[in-house]
Amino acid sequence: MDIAQPDHSRLLRPTGIGDWLFALVLAGAAVFALRQYGGFMDVYDKGILLLVVPGLAAIGWAWKPFRAFLAAAAALALASITLYQGDLARAEQVFFLKYLISSQTAIMWMSALVFIATGAYWLGLLARSDFAEKTGSALTWCAVTMGTTGLLVRWYESYLIGTDVGHIPVSNLYEVFVLFSLITGLLYLYYEGHYATRRMGAFVLLVISAAVAFLLWYSFSREAHEIQPLIPALQSYWMKVHVPANFIGYGAFALAAMIGVADLLVRRGILASRLPSLDVLGDVMYKAIAIGFAFFTIATILGALWAAEAWGTYWQWDPKETWAFIVWLNYAAWLHIRLTKGLRGPMLAWWAVIGLLVTAFAFVGVNMFLSGLHSYGSL
């Protein structure tokens, strides 16, 4: 079958009044952020903000549903900030903060919506219910919107605790598991829209649900949702770019692995009539790994630059660095074999699934079982 390809020219330029208005609103939001919060930003923060605007504009030009998501998350975050009135204690006093849009309640809503969406997608897949699948998709959009709101508000809340405490919320396992859930969800929703099929959602939402389950366990067992000051090792502008790039990679690899599971089931004749074709599944798996590899490579380079600044050397074969290199080699080999050898079939699907296990060990397992320069990230 012919697989529809995206119009990459749409990423490069706006083509209508709606695109120009979207870019103008983003620019206005950046100006507002600089005027309102510029005093808390260093030159690197301001540079990142100015680079994010064209990036978000390009995504919005190519993927119109992203605009509504971004607008909704921004509106909810601004509503929360307004309700706080500069007083963190209002989180327990104001109804909408306590039950809807403080950082913790927004993230709890995200968690609940992810579980319900997973059930809806599976009901849709097994019962061949288009309504259930549409419900799963809508709930996933709501989940990523609430999660994004939660992270944005958490960022603001950290500054309410103290200007010396305030930091971008990507500094501990609690925060990055929220980030992972959002990125994986958004990547999936893009492919769902691009290929006009919701039948991959039952599988992709499983890995997001697993991340959310870990998030809830970690939060309640360690009170990890409490905002803490950054430890010295993380007080660096490199963290603000290294961690998000890493988790775009992790999210894409997770998505590819779950598509790999679906691919293997189709090849065995299980749910074959209810899932997308092998061509579609293979294409999504390849594109997800390509995106993940690109961002993981960028993150690794940024991590090396961070290490050079912090420890005076780019690479020390610390366990975390060693396993990051193993992850990089794994996906580099996957892409090399697919692109140069033209290999297709169950081997690549199995490889993608096993690759997620390797990646999970590199991210969580190293923290649990090994020690080194990155031990500040331990469980």
- The predicted-structure confidence for 20-30, as pLDDT tens digits, reads as follows 999 999 999 99
pLDDT at 4: 47
Q: Could you give the C-alpha distances from 207 to 88, 89, 181, 202, 244, in angstroms and in order?
A: 33, 35, 9, 10, 19
pLDDT the model gives residue 311: 80
Angle between helices 65-84 and 17-37 (to 10 degrees): 30
Query: What is the reported pLDDT for 217?
Result: 92
Q: Give me the amino acid identity at 168.
A: I
- Poorest-pLDDT segment among 50-54, 96-100, 182-186, 262-266: 50-54
φ/ψ of 128, rounded to 5, equals 55, 45
For residue 80, what pLDDT is reported?
97
Residue 268 burial (CB count, 10 A): 10
Q: What is the arithmetic mean of pLDDT over 94-120? A: 97
pTM of the entire structure?
A: 0.92
**What rounded mean pLDDT belongs to the chain?**
90
The mean pLDDT value for 360-379 works out to 68
The pLDDT value given to residue 372: 55
Residue range 53-59: average pLDDT? 93
pLDDT, one tens digit per residue, over 281-316 is 999 999 999 999 999 999 999 999 988 888 888 888
Sequence ranges of the domains in the chain: 235-379
In contact, 265 and 332? CB cutoff 8 Å: no
pLDDT of residue 58 exceeding 80, the answer is: yes
Judged against a pLDDT cut of 90, whether residue 349 lies above it is answered with yes
Q: CA-based Rg of the chain, rounded to a whole angstrom?
A: 21
pLDDT of 22 reads 93
Check whether 131 has a pLDDT greater than 50. Answer: yes
What pLDDT, on the 0 to 100 scale, is given for residue 3? Answer: 53
Residue 37 reports pLDDT greater than 50: yes
45-59, 65-79, 186-200, range with the lowest pLDDT: 45-59
Decide: helix, strand or coil at residue 378.
coil
Q: 169-205, pLDDT tens digit by residue?
A: 998 889 999 999 999 999 999 999 999 999 999 999 9
In angstroms, the Cα distances linking 200 to 138, 256, 263, 347 are 14, 11, 10, 20
Determine the pLDDT at residue 379: 58
Using the predicted structure, report yes or no on whether residue 265 has a pLDDT greater than 80.
Answer: yes
Tokens of 12: 């490069």
Q: How confident is the model at residue 40 (pLDDT cuts 50, 70, 90)?
A: confident
**Amino acid at the residue 223:** E
Q: In the prediction, which pLDDT does 178 show?
A: 97
Alpha helix segments (H runs only) across the chain: 17-37, 43-62, 65-84, 95-96, 103-127, 130-161, 173-194, 201-222, 239-267, 278-311, 319-340, 346-360, 366-369
Q: What 3-state class would DSSP assign to 168?
A: coil
DSSP per-residue codes, 192-224: HHHTT--TTHHHHHHHHHHHHHHHHHHHHHH-T
User: Quick one: pLDDT band at residue 363, thresholds 50, 70, 90?
Assistant: confident
Whole-number pLDDT of residue 45: 83
Nearest to 101 by CA among 142, 40, 56: 142
Query: Residues in the chain, how many?
Result: 379
Q: Is the dihedral of CA 336, 338, 343, 347 positive or negative?
A: positive
Distance CA 330, CA 338 (A): 13
DSSP state of 13: S
pLDDT at 11 over 90: no
Is the pLDDT at 2 greater than 80, yes or no? no
Q: Is 146 exposed, middle or buried (0-12, 13-18, 19+ CB in 10 A)?
A: buried
Residue bearing tokens 């502008």: 237
Burial code of 366-379, b = ≥16 C-beta within 10 A, e = fewer? bbeebeeebeebee
The pLDDT > 70 percentage for the chain reads 93
d(CA 302, CA 222): 30
Q: Which amino acid is at 303?
A: G
